[in-house]
Structure formats: C-alpha cells, structure tokens
Amino acid sequence: MATQVERITTFPNFAGDSAFAIGEYEQKSLPLAVETLQRLYSYMLKCRTVEERIRILFRQGRFAGNYFAAVGQEATQVGVTMDLLPEDTIAPSHRNFITHIMKGTPLPQLLAQIYGRKTSPDQGRSAPAHCGYAPLNIITPASTIAAQLNIGTGIALAYKMRQQRNVVVALSGEGSTSLGFWHEAVNFAGLHKLPMVIVVENNGWAESVPVTLQTAVTDISEKAKAYGIPGVTVDGNDVVEVYQAARTAITRAREGQGPTLLECKTYRWYGHSEIDPAKYREPREVQEWKGRDPIPRMERFLEEQGIWTNDWKQNLLKEFEAEIEQAIAFAEASPFPEPEEALDHVYSFDIRERELAPKTWEPKLGR
C-alpha cells in the first residue's frame, strides 16, 4: 500500500513556522510508501536511542575522549542518507556518527570505535567523531571544519570521470559556511556539475556562536546563487520534507544535473560536545525546539495515518536496546591495540623496524 502525496502535504508543521520553504526542485508527485515512512521513523528512533545510550556511557566514564551528539537533528541526517546506495559516498562532519547507522556500519564496530578498541573500523586510531568506514564509502572526517566537502568534491569528480551513477552526500553545520574551504568546494562542485548533495545542518549554533554572528543571510541556501546551483531550505525537523528534498537532489545528482545545496533548519539539544553544558543558550529556546522534536512529530503523523502504535514503538525500542547492549558487550570485551601498532599504517610500507631499532655505524677507514 502506497501512501500518496496528499498525506505528505498535510504533514503537520509542528514548528508553526511558515518561513520554511521547499525549493522549486521538490517533485510534489513523489509518492512515499508506508514502508518508507516507517523506515524513516524507525531509523530516527534507533539513532536517538544509540546516541542517548552513548551519552550515558560517557557520563559513566566508560570511554575516554568526547562525543558530539546529534540528538534533535535526526530528521535531517536520516532524511538525507536513507536513499543512498552502498557505492554512494557520505562525507560526514564530527556530528554525523549516526550516518554510520544509516549506511550500515556494524554497530559493534562503531561501539568499539568509541572505546578505542582494535576491533573498530580504524583499529583504535581515531575518536568517534573521526570514524570512517571504507567498505561503505564513508570517508573519515577530520575536525578541520568543511574540509570533508572538498574531499567529497574529489570523489564526486572521480564518479563523474568514470561515468559512475553515484553521488556524494557531504554534511556540515552552518558554521562551516564561514570557511573558505566551504566556498571553494561549492564553487568547484557547481563548476563541474559534480554529483553531490551539499547538506548544511543549520542547528543555529557553531559551538557557542549563533548563526546571526556567522552570516548576514537568513537562509544559508541563498549562498547557492553565488555558485550557480539550486539552493533549498527545508524544515530540518520534518523528516518527510527532508527526505523528499534530499531525494530530489540525489536524483538530480545521479542524473548528471549537478549539485544541490540543501539547508536543513534544525537544532541540537545538547552542547557542542559532552563537555559543553551550552550555558550560552536561553533555556526557553531549547524548550521551544524540544517541542519540535522530530520523533513525536512523526509519531503523531503516522498515528493519524493509522500506521503507528505505541506497542510497535516499544517493540522497536526493545529490539534496538538489545542490539546496543550486545554491541557494548562486544566493544568492552574487545582488546585494545598493542602499543607498537601506533607505528602502523603511516605509509604503504612498514616503518616499525627503522623506528624501533635504528642501526649504528662504526668508522670504516683507519683514523
């Protein structure tokens, strides 16, 4: 049974904000199957459950380092990544850990990443914020903001040169659009009509600096005009709207029509990271945005369509929690890497011997 587009256009806008406009590229005739709606919902729920659990693990001191939760932004990240093929690339930022769940990186390995264990995708080298997964084309994000967009343009260039029908979805926050890197990448992508979707997760805050101190434009998507590509702003807490806009952009990219700048207006519930109590924000603002929580919004919508029940949700949660517990158990039982492994994978050849046991020389001539 397919859910027809009328239902989508009646998707309730709990934000009560008419400023969000879907761009001209939305195809109103796009049907969403019940199954698609259910998947969008269940992935949001799973991502939320995983991240809230990781936050607890951090506060329990069960892993070192830090974590950059995307709680509150699930509709954006789930919506833009759900339609990707295994061969497509995600170029994530530090707050896109949950895109791994979307692409299919095994959860036990992801938890091992958090714990710095040898069984993780990069054998304990990087923090969760820098985790990539080569088998599914998730590039390792660096913390230099917006740099992943530039790397993404190169992958998209390779797709184009090889006439591969694949796309690159690059994600970054609104703060990234203040960097030269960001503009170089969007310019280059537009110039070469690269198969990319450039997603700006506008959550209002670049660490402690509000978007109003980053840029004079109201909608980041306006910046697309400067690079000759379409710019679209959507309600980033409305998963159906995000999904539809992303699907249009992905289709355009796959068909060789070039990149789209997709701005999703959303909000992060917590601080920049787990060590940031985010006291720079007004509690009222946080409460308002929590009222626009994408998950209950979707629940109400699905319930109206007769395809959501609390029992179903509880069953999903039970399933996710069991999966997470198993992943945590796997991670905690996994070994740490051996210390000397810090010398591995610097080059395509081994440097251990020359680093650990340098030779010494004696004079050869008579002195």
Partner 1 sequence: MPVMTYIDAINTALDEEMTRDEQVFIIGEDVGKMGGVFKATKGLQEKFGVDRVIDSPLAEGVIVSSSIGAAMAGMRPVAEIQFADFITPAMDAITQQAAKLRYRSAGTQTCPLTVRVCYGGGVGGGLYHSQTNTSWFIHTPGLVVVAPSTAYDAKGLLKSAIRDDNPVMFFEHKKLYRSVKEEVPDEDFTVPLMKAEVKKSGSDLTVISYGYTLQLSLQAAEKMKQQHGVDVEVVDLRTLVPLDKDTFLESVARTNRVVIVHEDNRTLGIGAEISAVIAEQAFDCLDAPITRVTAPDVPAVPFSAPLEHFYMPSVEKIVAAMERTIRY
In the complex, the residues that contact partner 1 under the rule CB under 8 A are 89, 121-123, 125-126, 130, 132, 134-135, 139-140, 142, 144, 147, 150-159, 161, 180-181, 184-185, 187-188, 191, 344-348, 351, 354, 358-365, 367
Comparison of 69 and 194: residue with beta carbon closer to partner 1:
194
Nearer to partner 1, 226 or 351 (CB): 351
Neighbours of 213 (CB within 10 A): 11
Q: Which amino acid is at 91?
A: A
Q: Smallest distance, Å, CB 123 to partner 1? A: 4
The residue (of 156 and 200) whose beta carbon lies closer to partner 1 is 156
What is the sign, positive or negative, of the torsion defined by CA atoms of 324, 126, 263, 290?
Answer: positive
C-beta of residue 107 within 8 angstroms of C-beta of residue 323: yes
Query: Shortest distance, CB of residue 49 to partner 1, whole angstroms?
Result: 27
Minimum separation from the CB atom of position 365 to partner 1 (A):
6
d(CA 26, CA 24) in angstroms, rounded, equals: 6
Is the CB of residue 273 less than 8 Å from the CB of residue 67?
A: yes
What's the closest the beta carbon of residue 329 comes to partner 1, in angstroms?
Answer: 23
Taking the complex as a whole, the smallest distance from the CB of residue 95 to partner 1 amounts, in Å, to: 18
Q: What is the dihedral of CA 306, 311, 315, 318, to 10 degrees?
A: 140
Shortest Å, Cβ 309 to partner 1:
42
Minimum CB distance to partner 1, residue 230 (Å): 20
Shorter beta-carbon distance to partner 1: residue 184 or 276: 184
State which residue, 126 or 202, has the beta carbon closest to partner 1.
126
> Distance between CA 61 and CA 334 in Å, rounded?
17
Query: Within 13 Å of residue 250, how many CA atoms lie on the same side as its CB?
Result: 21
Question: By C-beta, is 60 or 349 nearer to partner 1?
Answer: 349
Q: How far apart, in whole angstroms, are the C-alpha atoms of residue 264 and residue 15?
A: 13
**Which of 265, 201, 262 lies closest to 69, judged by CA?**
201
Cβ closest to partner 1, residue 127 vs residue 317: 127
What are the C-alpha distances in Å from 258 to residues 10, 89, 154, 220? 30, 15, 14, 19
